[in-house]
Structure 1
């Protein structure tokens, strides 16, 4: 998998510095810049050095225009480190370009991604203080005021509140500059980023999508428009609206590991596993190349994030060989960068949990251990709960009730830890952990023989999950609650109800291996041969190109031989 096809964009570097011949006429940089740890150096890209078409330079030295537009393109592709370096090159060449300071502040905001920490927030605040002293147009002032509210009072005001303030400010920028494409694009992104994760009407997302889709017709090669359409529709109920864009986006920004990965968000929602595999292999390859180019000690978070979606897709394809290869590779990773990234924390716990649980290897699940990856695990209670959920579920399905109850108590401490933080993000994550708790309580009750209690609590878990949206980092729940409800109903000899649960699950999680198998078995046990054939045939079709040792496929093959002509 490892290779190096680094492209150092010398032409861009030459362009960025070509105007320095006129340095005698340049304004001098603000002395305060010397105290700020800005990223500098060559802009490192892999493969085809294209990031789409953007034109956004404002009020800066004419010679910095191409550099500024490259920086914006990198920002739209979530290539944050390289975007910051590009904006800093503009600042170094034109210290009075106020919008370049805005660009660095945007590059460390990480909207829709990992929120900035105290160090980054302090850095952004200092940059904006300098920008405040520079001459600027009313339009530039609008942009700076908008990002300014995100950094203002960061020590006392939580991230969610500042994110909402930024969205409202960007709305005004959008309304005040109706011909400004970037204002519309960035406002649309702010709507998606600030959307209520419990709003199943997707009010913000639909509003954002309407803005972006209209723009995409006129600007089909703009990286931000395509990128944010995918994020906006990254939900099972509306994912189909983003399919055309998903298939286009990777072509717009071939140098971006994130751009290569993003289409798989839509492919995953729609159960298009082969397409998800293809785009995540490309993403992983690009991310490895970038890691090598910066001589990083460890693996880039973008590579590890792509692996999560890749393993999920391989599991649904029943490709046991590929799953095993990815699992071994994940176990070999000891360090990552940026350090302690939440996407890495999620993936490192989710991959082994998914593999054990999806394959119904209860003993393996019960004996999972914390990844050996160097990480500050205490700061990630939700992500750690995934591992303990797998251990608890594996234990209870193996008949080891005390072990399951011990794991359940650990999960409850994570839940309380998230509640104690008491901000919007932690409350959402606490809700996800609460679903895990209810699932384990339900299956523990079943193991103890209290079937009525078990079914009641499992239905509650299913209901709770139906009222929340998935987190953007995840390809999906480790095990969907509706699918587990179907499993329980089958064990309770209620195949008709089980079939209904599996079919609900397949509406939100199309082409899941275990969902199709469960629906087929439930249909067979109800005597509905037509539906059993339908779901078994879908399962066989889904896995026809896989190297699989799943026993469910043998069962499907034998049933179809007896029940089809």
Structure 2
């Protein structure tokens, strides 16, 4: 007789009061010269925090994982006679595809609890404990070795394909707990999956796992600065398209395609995937949020706001549904960061302030120690970016200075205050703020790059370029103004893509505005058209181009439609 999953009172667990709990993720040290050892801080923007192995405790009912609602219906059949083991394996695989690694690992452990002889339940655990999308900070957990032993022990009775998957998973790890050969192990694992694809060409999940494996070798590195695909990118996009042709709602292909094309010059090719994700996986926080990657890249900022609101609510549901996993709400720092970026670009000032202060509150309440990371200082200063983007100069003047130990936050504060003073015609004060900004610019800590993203010095140089350029323009040093702003454009164009972007207000918006004021409309038009290549559909460039019908639509939910590309 087959064992069935007890789901009594399941819906009640989902209706638990959404109390705001907080948890923390483990920190993995990169440990390489010139690279910040910030570890899981990357999860705030990198979408793939490591699974928290310390949280793998059972709940009061002896379960590793609850049944999470809303992950869809996708199933990959494995060798088991126990329905509950299959169900939790499917939940684990879908959550792995969604970058919910802690929940995935717990689900695979729950599958093994129902069927201790299910080889794929251990294979799934090994999958979840491997490199994640921010592989620069990964180090193999020692606990994976015992999982591999259980996987190999049960494989004797597994079907041939599962034995093959076990063998390939074995190539992903070694007994060397220092993980010194990680790069080669990642390559061996990807090559093993490629070989399996040849043996089982109709198995689209092997193709999805291969795409995942190669993406992990090249995290955030799929396009050149001038919009050309890297040598590995086209194959991966083609693989995703092939999967979607066979199964249009495959969760991994929808997710991975967005990551693969979001930094391209044609992000619109994954808009359909973004829309589908919300239908396919309506209850999974990260997958709902993933739609906003495409919405903000295609100028659909209001839609980006909506899905991040939903994702934040779902994160609370996950946290309260699985108290034993101590998930916390760290993901909200990412959701709020992207939502604020969307609100800035939509000129939805009220929403930008609401979300950016919520983000600041989360950081101060639960993740204050992470302010050592300059990117968290950038997130912390998002309210100041909202003041500058929407021209709220008097409010900016009242913004208190951050703690002086926060060097990058202090630099961004000087930028915002300098812009406010300039727009309020306090030139001397604006120049004093620029001078203080330049003192912070000398801080060597800003040159440390947090792999695989940008060093904060790049955002700092853009802040200097905008403020210096605008001061020059106000002093009628027009050549100096253009020179500074063009310098800022060069820095901005050289930055690695991430979301939210490391600098939220395109320098071209300032450059184009200056050129229009200098009665150089042809030059301004060129600048704005270039901006639309980098930031498709954004209303600010459309205002600069005078394309009224389009920018009115772009700012449909704004408190006011701007009359220029900058305030």
Q: TM-score range by the shorter chain?
A: 0.7 to 0.9
CA offset digits 1:195-242 (Å, max 9, x no partner): 335623223333212111111122123221222222222125121111
1:208 pairs with 2:236? yes
Matches within 5 A, 1:249-260: 249-260=277-288
Specify the SS of the correspondent of 1:40.
Answer: coil
1:476-515 superposed matches below 5 A: 477-490=503-516, 494-515=520-541
Question: Aligned residue for 2:461?
Answer: 437
Alignment gaps of 5+ in structure 1: 1-8, 15-34, 521-531, 557-565
CA deviation map 1:22-65 (0-9, x unaligned): xxxxxxxxxxxxx987343453466x544331214257978622
Alignment of 1:49-60 (within 5 A): 49-58=70-79
Q: Does 1:540 align with 2:552?
A: yes
Instruction: Describe the shift of the 1:255–1:513 C-alpha distance in structure 2 as closer, same or farther (beyond 3 A).
Output: same
1:447 matches 2:471? yes
Count of residue correspondences: 494
1:20 alignment partner in structure 2 = none
* Cα distance in structure 2, aligned partners of 1:494 and 1:66: 64
CA–CA distance in structure 2, aligned partners of residues 142 and 369 of structure 1: 58
Q: Secondary structure at the match of 2:265?
A: coil
Task: Say whether 1:38 aligns with 2:56.
Answer: yes
1:185 corresponds to which of 203, 208, 215:
208
Give 3-state SS (helix, strand or coil) of 1:434's partner: helix
Q: Which of 324, 341, 346 is the equivalent residue of 2:353? A: 324
Relative to total residues, which structure has the larger helix share, 1 or 2? Answer: 1
Alignment partners' CA distance in 2, 1:435 and 1:324: 21
- Paired residue for 2:122, among 97, 101, 105? 101
Distance verdict in 2 for CA 1:515–1:329, change over 3 Å? same
Partner deviation per Cα, 1:411-433 (whole Å, 9 max, x = no partner): 453665525x7xxx25x412x63
User: Following TM superposition, by how much is the alpha carbon of 1:139 offset from its aligned partner in structure 2, in angstroms?
Assistant: 0.8
Residues 105, 124 of structure 2: 8 Å contact kept: yes
| Residues 367 and 415 of structure 1, relative CA distance in 2, 3 Å threshold | farther
Partner of 1:290: 318
| TM, length-normalised to structure 2 | 0.73
Q: What is the rounded CA distance, in whole Å, between the counterparts of 1:302 and 1:161 in structure 2?
A: 30
Cα RMSD after superposing both structures: 4.3
Asked if the contact 2:337/2:356 (under 8 Å) is kept, the reply is no
For residues 52-201 of structure 1, the aligned pairs below 5 Å read 52-58=73-79, 64-95=85-116, 97-109=118-130, 111-112=132-133, 121-125=141-145, 127-128=147-148, 131=151, 135=155, 138-148=163-173, 154=178, 156=180, 166-195=189-218, 196=221, 199=224, 200-201=227-228
- TM-score (normalised: structure 1): 0.73
Unpaired stretches in structure 2, ≥5 consecutive residues: 11-52
Which residue is 2:493 aligned to? 466
Per the TM alignment, residue 386 of structure 1 is displaced from its structure 2 partner at its CA by: 6.7
Q: Distance in 2 between matches of 1:51 and 1:495?
A: 51
Q: How do 1:513-532 residues align onto structure 2 when only pairs under 5 Å count? A: 513-517=539-543, 519-520=544-545, 532=546
CA distance in 2, matches of 1:113, 1:165: 19
Q: Once the two structures are superposed, what CA deviation does each residue of 1:49-83 show, in whole Å capped at 9, x if it has no partner?
A: 44331214257978622321221112112222221
SS in 2 for 1:104: helix
Distance in 2, matches of 1:263 and 1:95, equals 37
User: CA 1:434/1:351 → structure 2, altered by over 3 Å: closer, same or farther?
Assistant: closer
Counterparts of 2:262 and 2:357 in 1: how far apart (Å)? 29
Aligned counterpart in structure 2 of residue 354 of structure 1, from 385, 397, 404? 385
Give, in whole Å, the separation in 2 of the partners of 1:55 and 1:252. 16
Distance 1:537 1:92 in 2: 59
Q: Helix, strand or coil for the counterpart of 2:257? A: helix
Deviations 1:475-517 (A, max 9, x none): 6741223323324444655443223212211232133343233
Say whether 1:552 aligns with 2:567: no
Establish whether residue 309 from structure 1 lines up as the match of residue 352 from structure 2.
Answer: no
Structure having greater relative contact order (Cα 8 Å, sep ≥ 6)? 2
Cα pair 1:87 1:100 within 8 Å, conserved: yes
Choose 287-296 or 176-185, whichever is displaced more. 287-296
Query: Is the contact made by 1:442 and 1:457 (CA closer than 8 Å) also made in structure 2?
Result: yes
Residue of structure 1 in register with 2:29 after alignment: none
